[in-house]
Structure 1
């Protein structure tokens, strides 16, 4: 078994390398009991290998996470920006304060739910002031800035009617927050 990497430019070992090493070990051990123990270890490792769709968070929220959130936000948001239905929905909820607030709360709840599925609260270094999770603040902020910015830059909203424009941007930002959350937590590397 090779415990040191001879070539520093070689790729980092992965789980398949561990299985290969365990298979070699199973052939080298002397007794059937030892061989069974190695095989049981491989079985346990296979069962523990999680191919979860959600839940691959690093220790801190860094520029890479911001990039992933931005890409997810953009991918989900572009259809919202170019479609006229977003403008209609925004105009509709602008005249109904309860629905406007409910839309914002649903967006936050969806964002929280996606991040919660990835156990974001377990990342100890990912806290503002030791209390507020960075992801829970940053991801909606990325979505809001992206949504409001693109809707404005691309002339999709008329700020002469600020409540309607804000509502239209909010509808876009809610969908973008879902995309940003998924962009952050889906396996990428």
Structure 2
């Protein structure tokens, strides 16, 4: 077996995607670039065998998994009156509230990128530096906490927004951990990356730039 045959046999889906991304960056014609993007989307839809340790895509399925994880972990907190006591303590000392927020962000990032449950890579960050998965997990957990607490009457109808937000922040802290675990523990999700789907949607609407919406 020749070296070229070995190399050809060792090429995987990730290698093909990487080369297509290089090709997308190299071509100048917009119609050719769209064809390359479509090829990338087709590669993303290819089935994968087993659970991959490396995670770089972020899909609609990841969003659903994060939502379910945040619900399951935070549900017991919704009926716990201790949430109100903790929220009152944080609200009485705004610096502690900020520390709590910072702690949640750091711990969520640590679970995603450093705890080694999975090898999660930062891919296609927002504005080139902000990890999109981290932002999505924090946002999903916050929306979930705010929605469930509102529906279950734990926020007194938002009559006092400061009190309501402080209570949400307590449940949000727990929901973030659940969302992170729900997202990464199942491994790499199948399907197209959410950025590619948004780019495709933007192209259909005739908006976006040469590099896509995101």
TM-score after normalising by structure 1:
0.66
Cα 1:140–1:57 shift into 2, 3 Å: farther
Matched, 1:113 2:90: no
Larger CA Rg, structure 1 vs 2: 1
String of CA shifts for 1:23-68, please: whole Å, max 9, x gaps.
Answer: xxxxxxxxxxxxxxxxxxxxxxxxxxxxxxxx94533111111011
Query: 2:167 aligns to what?
Result: 168
Query: 1:24 aligns to what?
Result: none
Cα 1:135–1:13 shift into 2, 3 Å: closer
Cα 1:12–1:66 shift into 2, 3 Å: closer
Distance 2:102 2:144 in 1: 18
Q: Gaps spanning 5+ residues in structure 2: where?
A: 1-46, 189-214
Q: Secondary structure at the match of 2:55?
A: coil
Matched, 1:96 2:93: yes
Query: 1:145 aligns to what?
Result: 143
TM-score after normalising by structure 2:
0.59
Q: Secondary structure at the match of 1:128?
A: coil
Q: Gaps spanning 5+ residues in structure 1: where?
A: 1-10, 16-54
Aligned-residue offset at 1:116: 1.4
